[in-house]
Amino acid sequence: MKFKMKRTTIYGYLFILPWLLGFLALVLLPLIQSFYYSMNDMRITPVGLKFKYVGFNNYLDVWLKDMFFIQELLGFVLDTILRVPVIVVFALIIAMLLNQNVKFKGSFRTIFFLPVIVASGPVINQLTSQDATTIPLVNQDVIIGILAGLFPIWFATQIGELFGQIIIILWYSGVQILIFLAVLQKIDPSLYEAAKIDGGSSWECFWKITLPTIKPIVLVNFIYTLVSLANSNQNPIINLIYTNMFAATRGYGFASAMAWMYAVVIAILLLVIAFVFRERKPKRYV
Amino acid sequence: MAMSKARSFYTVLTNSDLSYKEKWRLGKARLARFLFGFNDRKGFIMKFVIYTLLVSIGFVYLYPMLYMFITSMKSLSDLLDMSVKWIPTDLYTKNYKQAFSVMNMRESFTGSMLIALVPTIFQVIVASLVGYGFARFEFPLKKLLFGLMIFSFIIPPQILMMPTYRLLSTLELTGSLNAFIIPAALGQGFNSAIFILIFYQFFMQTPKSLYEAAEVDGASQLTSFIKIAIPMAVPAFIVSFLFSFVWYWNETYLTTLYLTSSKNELTTILLQLQQFEQNYQTMYPVTENSPNKINEGIKMAGTVISILPLLIVYFFLQRYFVESVDRTGITGE
């Protein structure tokens, strides 16, 4: 028995060996290095890289001396908090529409998934620079004007921009739609039949059956959306890190510190999502 | 179906045996059924709402693409003419010719193909091996390692970008295809964690007894992987391959970092699209009286060219893409 145990261990490690090596060399090592960089002032000299230990000064500089970081970060956080739920809810609505017995279901799925294939950074940049990503009939200024009466102005402009970018937002929901659709199709129809016999309306069925069943998948989609938004090329902070990396006065050290701060912010957002979706203790039904 | 409904509605109305009041009652009932549905059948109104929503959302999805195609067909006079919106006055292909030469198509297409194809092959093979290892064997620290794999998907790549770039440039790998192949072969390619997860899920669903039977018959682990696991996992291979291909094709962050900073010939279509305007200006310099100024039509033609290969792939293989989620059982059984 003991010999057998050992053998599966060896085989298991043999199979995952490439990944393990890659993880050590290309994830763990860079992770440590990047932390080390962020504590140093790095200069590229003709002789090679020069390190000067500066402690947490880079981190302080990111917050205190960079003009754009805080501004972009606030913009990003606000944007994400608005966008992620919109994308997920939209994906759920579209998936539920498709889950009905509609004709041309396949064609609709094909259309909704198309952006996942074609939407890459430069393509989206080209399209947004041509204003091809706003619906011409939706007048953003009117919407902002109405909203400004109800909310503070910064919030109103954010929501107005949301309308302006509605196509891009929809384009980010292709994968989520498919995931929702796959899980919706797996819900046992007899659950709905039983509910209907007991006089439940479709509305009640949605809140009492559909939503609780797919709750884990909603969480998955939330996380997926957040990560894909955070790592997308359109993200201004990522471009900021990139420019700092090659900037003469800033360099790797500063850029690393900025990347770490950004990672912390994303981690906080992830934690918030996980907290919202945490498993509550089951209530007792009498 | 609508026809038969209409006919039955008509027969009710023309039936002379029924009094006017009964006709009214029956007709109303039928109309209500038609509009609001009964039992599980959806009524006409509901269906109308669903289809309208789907079609309008579908249009919103397609709008940028339509715009792109149409603008790319417009000549300069069409672009300036405000009355020409959706239908260009004539079939104008010069935009494409210009874009084709500006983007240096022959080199960039081979570059894109190489960068999308070769790392994908490595990535898929390694992901299948690792996924199999995680799914099939029990070994110490498995849970921890699995957690680390998922963690590696969530870390923002920007943290790792700089040290990795330094590592690869000290190994003199940047500027060549190797900068993409080696991470892919080590299971750290673009979105590798997702592919490992796909294979993990897939191999978890295959019955263990098959492998045990092969083992009893004296097959080695590698033989049973090649002879049993791989043939069963064909759908997972197709899905991973396609997605990996598309993602590598669309990748610009790493390609910009690894390829543009060093002087070399390797380039991709999307990199060319990124530098489209500069390249255009060097190729067709603006002189006093030549109409060589870049316009939206040419830019859109470049964009169309850059997505066309993927569109063709998608057109033929779309069912593998859209059924991917069902096939690989990512959502769990």
φ and ψ at A44, to 5 degrees?
A: -90, 110
Q: Which residue has the higher pLDDT, B331 or B95?
A: B95
What size, in residues, is chain A?
Answer: 286
With cut-offs at 50, 70 and 90, classify the pLDDT of residue B328. low
User: What average pLDDT does this structure show over B285-308?
Assistant: 74
Q: Give me the sign of the Cα torsion angle B224, B227, B231, B232.
A: negative
Query: pLDDT, tens digit, for every residue of A111-132?
Result: 888 888 877 777 777 777 776 6
| Beta carbons of A147 and A159 less than 8 angstroms apart | yes
Joined together, the tokens standing for residue A121 give 């950074």
Q: Which residue has the higher pLDDT, A21 or B165?
A: A21
**Does B42 reach chain A within 8 Å, measured CB to CB?**
yes
pLDDT value at position B125? 92
Tell me what percent of the residues of chain A surpass a pLDDT of 70: 86
* Residue B85 CA neighbour count, 13 Å, CB half: 3
Q: Which CATH number fits domain B103-274: 1.10.3720.10, 3.40.50.970, 3.30.2350.10, 1.10.150.170?
A: 1.10.3720.10
pLDDT value at position B120? 92
**Does B157 reach chain A within 8 Å, measured CB to CB?**
yes
Give the residue extent of every domain in chain B.
Answer: 2-86, 103-274
Asked if residue A106 has pLDDT above 70, the reply is yes
**Does B79 reach chain A within 8 Å, measured CB to CB?**
no
Query: pLDDT, tens digit, for every residue of A227-258?
Result: 888 877 677 888 788 787 777 667 778 888 88
Using the structure block, give the residue that is written with the tokens 């796909």.
B198
CA angle A265, A270, A276 (to 5 degrees): 130
Q: Which residue has the higher pLDDT, A141 or B187?
A: B187
Query: pLDDT, tens digit, for every residue of A75-88?
Result: 888 888 888 888 99
Give how far A286 is from chain B: nearest CA, Å: 30
The ipTM (two decimal places) reads 0.77
Q: Which residue has the higher pLDDT, A160 or B129?
A: B129
Q: Which residue of A has its CA nearest to B52?
A: A97
With cut-offs at 50, 70 and 90, classify the pLDDT of residue B333. very low
Tell which of A13, A14, A16, A38 to mutate to test the B interface (max B CBs under 10 Å).
A16
Query: pLDDT, tens digit, for every residue of B166-181?
Result: 888 888 777 778 888 8
Query: Average model confidence (pLDDT) for chain B?
Result: 79
With cut-offs at 50, 70 and 90, classify the pLDDT of residue B128. very high
Joined together, the tokens standing for residue B226 give 């090649």
Give how far A247 is from chain B: nearest CA, Å: 13
Residues of B in contact with A9 (CB under 8 A): 137-140
Residues of B in contact with A80 (CB under 8 A): none
Lowest mean pLDDT of A156-165, B16-25, B270-279, B294-303, name the range: A156-165
Asked if residue B121 has pLDDT above 90, the reply is yes
Q: Give the span between the Cα atoms of B328 and A214, in whole angstroms.
A: 18
Q: Give the span between the Cα atoms of A131 and A106, in whole angstroms.
A: 29
Q: Give the span between the Cα atoms of B164 and B161, in whole angstroms.
A: 5
User: What average pLDDT does this structure show over A92-106?
Assistant: 83
| Beta carbons of A170 and B57 less than 8 angstroms apart | yes
Provide the number of CB pairs (under 8 Å) joining chain A to chain B.
246
Asked if residue A11 has pLDDT above 80, the reply is yes
Query: Average model confidence (pLDDT) for chain A?
Result: 79
Give how far B316 is from chain A: nearest CA, Å: 11
Query: pLDDT, tens digit, for every residue of B47-87?
Result: 888 888 888 888 888 888 888 888 888 777 777 776 767 77
Which residues numbered 191-230 in B keep a CB inside 8 Å of some CB on A?
192, 196, 221, 225
With cut-offs at 50, 70 and 90, classify the pLDDT of residue A1. very low
Q: Cβ–Cβ contacts within 10 Å for residue B213, how many?
A: 13
